[in-house]
Amino acid sequence: MNNLKIKITDIDENLKIYILLFSILGYLAKGLFDIQFGLYLGIVLGLFLLSQVFNNLRVNRFVFIYSLISLLAYFLIIFNNTFDEGLFFLPIILSSLGISIAIIDTVFEYKKFHYNLSKIILYALFIYCVVFFILFEDMNYALKGSRNMISAYLLCLLPYYYMVRHINGDKVSIWIAFFTFLICLISVGTAGVILSFFFLYALLHIRYKYLTFFLLIIIFFVYSFELQNYFYSFLNKIDPEILSKILYRLDINNLYGPSIRGVILNNYISNLDLFSFFYGIKLENLHWNINGIDYYNPHNSYLLLHAKSGILVFVYLSIIGVTLYKLFKLNKVLFFLFLVIILRASSDTVSFAHGYFEWSIYLFFLYIFYYKNRVNSIKIGFSK
């Protein structure tokens, strides 16, 4: 498989790390705080990193095919809309690929850099969100978008932390998953609460073989010492209706029923014709009036991806499906994390050819279609 090897050799290694650092910071600035200069910085530096890969004339097949598919999707966006509508679509995808490849390519030599950066990003977000909640008791406007998006940002950044440690065969802290769940809880977004808890539960299940018994002990102590009143008081401070909202989301009948997202999904599918099915739709047509309220957001990454790329959405979905299947066979922790991100993307437009954290999510694809071509699987562990 040597002909598939990706190496960045045309620039100094230390300079490459600085370029990688500022490209990640640029996307974080745009994705979290809507700083437009960050987007320009991330795109320019990410494209530069990708150019170094293509300069070697030995490009990984997946990188080449994914870039080609994205180029075709870009033409469809221009065909259906104006040039301005698709201006950032292709640059974001290609620059994110460049950043992801640079991470994979330097994950051994600059192990400490990646460990520290991935940890600092997450803990800085945790601290910022907790301080914001203490000061304002409301997570709206804490970051770009509504408070529902906070869980999406955190989940999309987790792959960077888990992947670099897994590839190096080192242990990961289960506290990262716990703090992610805590921030999702105070942010109230029900999809984030459910999915972050599911991921935490999966990690606990991998570590503790008798997880059910473990949880029963916790519940016993909570009720034995009448701590439930403090627990409910804490939840009511966050949102008095948070429990009812979570239970509502867990009801499968509400998935495609009266919820706004369900109505939008049904409306989108019912209005597709043969032409729009193959070629996508105009982004300006992503508009619904439900109960007198106008909605311009499909609240679904896959609907938006189809609107942009048409029939090519099934190529993207195939790549996602193959990656999920192979992760299931290789590593359960990465499998559950990727599954959670896939599910979260179905309730908001946060990832897969749309968001500003693609560079982190693409690590899953590169791990399967590039990295696994040359090394064997490494069992993941947990730190105490």
Residue 127's nearest CA partner among 177, 200, 183, 194 is: 183
Residue with tokens 């896959």: 302
pLDDT at 11 over 80: no
175-215 residue pLDDT tens: 999 999 999 888 877 888 889 989 998 888 887 766 656 66
What's the pLDDT score for residue 91? 94
pLDDT at 374: 47
pLDDT given for residue 53 in this prediction: 79
Number of domains in the chain: 1
Cα torsion angle, 40, 43, 45, 51, sign: negative
Distance between CA atoms of residues 196 and 199, nearest Å: 5
C-beta neighbour count of 249 within 10 angstroms: 18
User: Comparing C-alpha atoms, which of 125, 155, 167 is closest to residue 142?
Assistant: 125
Please state at what angle helix 61-80 crosses helix 313-330, rounded to 10 degrees: 150
Its domain, for residue 37, covers: 2-382
Helices 111-136 and 175-187 pack at an angle, to 10 degrees, of 30
Q: Rounded to whole angstroms, how far apart are CA atoms 71 and 77?
A: 10
Say how many C-beta atoms besides its own lie within 10 A of residue 325's C-beta.
Answer: 12
**Least confident segment among 63-72, 199-208, 367-376:** 367-376
- In percent, the amount of the chain with pLDDT more than 90 equals 45
Model pLDDT, residue 173: 83
Tell me the range of 85-89, 146-150, 322-326 where mean pLDDT is highest.
Answer: 322-326
Average pLDDT of every residue of the chain: 82
Express each pLDDT in 129-149 by its tens digit: 999 988 887 788 889 888 889
Give the per-residue pLDDT at 86. Answer: 78
Per the listing, tokens 């109505």 go with 263
Please write the tens of the pLDDT for every residue from 38-56. 999 999 999 999 988 777 6
Tracing tokens 């019912």 back to the chain, one arrives at 270
If one counts every other C-beta atom within 10 angstroms of the C-beta of residue 315, the result is 16
Helices (H) and strands (E) in the chain, counts: 17, 4
Contact 104, 368 (CB under 8 A): no
Look at residue 174 in the predicted model and tell me its pLDDT. 87
Statement: residue 78 has pLDDT above 50: yes
pLDDT at 110: 94
C-alpha to C-alpha distance for 258 and 268, rounded to whole angstroms? 15
**pTM recorded for the entire structure:** 0.86
Cα–Cα distance, 24 to 56 (Å, whole number): 23
Which is more confidently placed, 246 or 252? 246
Q: Crossing angle of helices 61-80/89-106, nearest 10°? A: 160
State the pLDDT at residue 379.
Answer: 39
